[in-house]
Amino acid sequence: MSKEKLIIYCDGGSRGNPGPAGLGAVIYDEDKNKVFEISEFLGVTTNNQAEYKGVLQAIKKAKELKAKELTFYLDSELIVKQMNGQYRVKNRDLIPLYMEIRKHVLEFQKVEFNHVRREYNKEADALANMAMDEHGPKKKR
């Protein structure tokens, strides 16, 4: 299955920072049809590591789907600004994740990273929370 352009909503989080963490991603084709969902428990990690791992898992799936262009939407302004080169990645635990994503980005014709407010990223957030709920302490509501 080949989808030329994919739209990807990603999220990651941890309960405790660091704490039990999960990632979520929803991948759509350019006609807004859902192509794939990712929900994965990560063990104990930080919020930012979980966010980066969400991007990494989604970009790997996009490669499998043979996409050529990707548009990412994340509610982490930090990750978006780092991926767009506006901020340097200083945290030594994030540098390897950042470098791996940059390596994968080179395999696509075009990759964009955009910031969205949390309320526009509910589906990816729910998938990340589902992963955490299945393996770690429950989210307090």
Find, among 109, 139, 111, 108, the residue nearest to 125 by Cα: 139
Q: Is the pLDDT of residue 1 over 60?
A: no
What percentage of the chain carries pLDDT values higher than 70? 94
pLDDT tens digits along 39-82: 999 999 999 999 999 999 999 999 999 999 999 999 999 999 99
Question: In this predicted structure, what is the pLDDT of residue 57?
Answer: 98
Q: Is the pLDDT of residue 140 over 70?
A: no
* H or E segment to which residue 74 belongs: strand 69-74
Q: Is the pTM of this model over 0.95?
A: no
* Long-range contacts formed by 61-64: CB under 8 A, 24+ apart: 61/25, 61/27, 61/36, 62/6, 62/8, 62/27, 62/108, 63/104, 63/107
Take residue 21 and report the two structure tokens written for it. 């963490």
Non-local CB neighbours of 10 within 8 Å, separated by 6+ positions: 23, 24, 25, 51, 54, 55, 58, 72, 73, 74, 121, 124
Q: Is the pLDDT of residue 139 over 60?
A: no
Q: Taking the CA atoms of 39, 43, 47 and 53 in sequence, report the sign of the dihedral they define.
A: negative
Domain 5-135, what fold? Answer: Nucleotidyltransferase; domain 5 (3.30.420)
Q: What share of the chain is helix, strand, coil (3-state, %, to 5)?
A: 40, 30, 30
Q: Is the pLDDT of residue 141 over 80?
A: no
**Domains in the chain: boundaries:** 5-135
Take residue 59 and report the two structure tokens written for it. 């970009």
Q: 2: pLDDT confidence band, cut at 50, 70 and 90?
A: low
Q: Is the pLDDT of residue 138 over 70?
A: no
Query: For residue 118, which amino acid is it?
Result: R
Averaged pLDDT score across all residues of the chain: 94
Q: Residue 84 has what DSSP assignment? A: T
